[in-house]
């Protein structure tokens, strides 16, 4: 299905957010994730099913200022 990842169109075969992150190469990366503007905690990713057109946002913690 087609989703967007940080506004970039991507095609994934994954059914859940956890599978999609693996497929997209984020694997064990320590990141925050949101779907359609709402935060999805790491513990809920395996149970979060994705739908066609979902907007996935991936944000890594950074330090700098």
Partner 1 sequence: MSRYARQEVLVEVGPEGQARLGRAHALVVGAGGLGVPVLQYLAGAGVGRITLVDPDVVSVSNLHRQPLYAMADARRPKAVVAAERLAALNPECEVVPVAAPLDPANAAGLLAGVDVALDCADSFAAAYTLSDSCHAAGVPLISASALGLAGYAGGFCGGAPSLRAVFPDLPERAATCASAGVLGPVVGVMGALQAQMALAVLLGLAPSPLGQIVSFDAGRWRFGGFRFDAASEPAEGWAFLAPGDIAEADFTVDLRGVAEAPVPATPWARRLAVEDFGPGGPTPEPGQRAVLCCRSGLRSWRAAHRLSETWEGEIALVALGDMEDDG
Q: Which residues bind partner 1 (CB under 8 A)?
A: 6-7, 29-30, 32, 34, 37-39, 41-42, 57, 59-65
User: At its nearest, how many Å lie between partner 1 and the CB of residue 33?
Assistant: 9
Q: How far is the CB of 10 from partner 1 (least distance, A)?
A: 15
Instruction: Mark 17-48 as b/e (b = at least 16 C-beta within 10 Å).
Output: bbbbbeebebeeeeeebebeeeebeeeebeeb
Give min distance, CB of 14 to partner 1, in A. 20
């Amino acid at each position: 299905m087609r989703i967007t990842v940080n506004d970039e169109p991507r095609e994934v075969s994954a059914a859940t957010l956890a599978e999609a992150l693996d497929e997209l190469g984020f694997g064990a990366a320590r990141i925050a994730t949101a779907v359609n503007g709402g935060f999805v905690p790491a513990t809920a990713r395996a149970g979060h099913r994705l739908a066609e057109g979902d907007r996935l946002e991936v944000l890594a913690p950074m330090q700098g200022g």
